[in-house]
Amino acid sequence: MSSPGSTALTPTPAETPPPGRPAGSARKAADWARRAPLMPALLFTIVVTQLPFVVTIVISFLDWNSLRPDRRGFAGISNYVEVFTDANLRASVWNTLVITVTVVLVSLVLGLLIALLLDRKFFGRGAVRTMMIAPFLVVPIAAALLWKHALFNPSYGLFNGLLTSIWRLFGSDNPPQPDWLSEGPKLAIEAALIWQWTPFMMLIILAGLQSKPGDVVEAARMDGANAWQIFRYQTFPHLRQYLELGGLLGSIYIVQNFDAVFTITSGGLGTANLPYTIYQTFFSAHEYGLASAMGIVVVIGTIIIATFALRVVSSMFKEEVSR
């Protein structure tokens, strides 16, 4: 705000070629001057994130088990054949999809309902919001350990402890004491993740609700729209991009989840997801070639899904740019 009186009509220095030099090279220099601040970040990202994948592609065509280094050699596509015929890997693809879709959808629905509850003035609203955020701020591995040992444990976990307390309250000495982890291993992982991700969705949706212009709702109400109609035709369309954003970001992180599967079930009981399976193939089975082929298949699958997902962001993004 140093000079509110001056005009912005004069061209900026970057757009004016410096005098005394041919326009072509000056323009090139100006282009590079523009690009210069971007280069360190771009080069860093390319080197650190893209290079390892190139190496992974190379290794995926090798027959390489680190326990038998003498047998390293070219394997052709045999690793890929194994990937597509391996029942374990198919199971972990399925598990990854089930866990991601369940956690993202349930967190979104719960997050939406809770955000609607919190989008009103009431006593202690700030306190309730703070309470709601807490699960997201617990370190994920700590949360997974907490759920496994302090909540799910069949003999001293809080869940069975509360069942005992409630049954005693009604004079029964024979409360149900389910072994949560073996009876519903996938549900157990999903419950812990939903607990952590619902606050995330709630925060984004609540921010969306609060950015909604109130007078439009008022006008609709005056026109006789009921609460459901207002939600269906005004609130929901407005929230759509926030729901999509939450779904997209949640998916990015939950597809890659390692902490919960690694801790709660150690990939057992049919819960191994892709990150866990690849981790195991690397560091327990030492099958470097096979694990790399799995990694490449995962990357290709992710690219296909991401292309659709990015379309979602890009529509939001264009909206923002045109604003």
Partner 1 sequence: MSTATAPVRTAHVATTRRERKARSMQPPKPLLSLLAWIVGFLFVAPVLWMVLTSLHSETDAATNPPSIAAGLTLDGYRSFLSAGPEAPLLNSLMASVVSTLIVLCLAIPAAYALSIRPVEKWTDVMFFFLSTKFLPIVAGLLPLYLFAQKTGLLDNIWLLVLLYTSMNLPIAVWMMRSFLAEVPVDILEAASIDGAGLLRTLVTVVAPVAMPGIAATSLICFIFSWNELLLARTLTATIAGTSPVFLTSFVTSQGLFLAQLCAAATAVSLPVLVAGFAAQDKLVQGLSLGAVK
CB of 295 to partner 1, least distance (A): 3
Which x/- pattern over 250-289 shows residues binding partner 1 (rule: CB under 8 A)?
--x--xx-xx--xx----------xx--xx--xx----x-
Whether 194 and 110 have beta carbons less than 8 Å apart is answered as: yes
Q: Round to whole Å and give the CA distance between 29 and 160.
A: 70
Residue 186 or 242 with smaller CB distance to partner 1: 242
Note whether 165 and 157 are within 8 A (CB): no
* Site for partner 1 contains 298 (CB under 8 A): yes
Site size toward partner 1 (CB under 8 A) is 122
Position among 97, 106, 135, 312 found at the interface with partner 1 (CB under 8 A): 135
Amino acid (one-letter) located at 237: P
- Cβ proximity to partner 1: between 98 and 138 the closer is 138
Contact flag: residue 136 with partner 1 (CB under 8 A): yes
Of 96, 69, 93, nearest in space to 83 by CA: 93
Of 72-80, 81-89, 181-189, 303-311, the segment contacting partner 1 by CB under 8 A is: 303-311
Interaction residues for partner 1, span 226-255 (CB under 8 A) = 226-227, 242, 245, 249, 252, 255
The CA distance from 189 to 194, in Å, is: 9
Q: For partner 1, which is the closer residue by CB, 156 or 170? A: 156
What part of residues 139-198 is at the interface with partner 1 (CB under 8 A)? 139-142, 145-147, 149-151, 155-156, 158, 160-162, 164-165, 168, 195, 198
Strand intervals (E) in the chain: 62-63, 73-74
Question: Pick from 123, 124, 137: which is nearest to 203 by CA?
Answer: 137
**Measured distance CA(60)–CA(98) in Å, rounded:** 27
67 counts as binding partner 1 under rule CB under 8 A: no
Which residues, other chains included, contact 208 with Cβ-Cβ below 8 Å and sequence gap of 6+? 115, 238, 239, 241, 242, 243
Minimum distance of partner 1 from residue 102's CB (angstroms): 18
Among the residue ranges 53-61, 79-87, 182-190, 231-239, the one whose residues contact partner 1 (CB under 8 A): 53-61
Nearer to partner 1, 185 or 205 (CB): 205
Pick from 43, 59, 44, 52: nearest CA to 294: 59
The least CB distance from residue 41 to partner 1, in Å, is 4
Q: Which residues contact 250 (CB under 8 A, 6 or more apart)?
A: 103, 104, 107, 108, 197, 200, 201
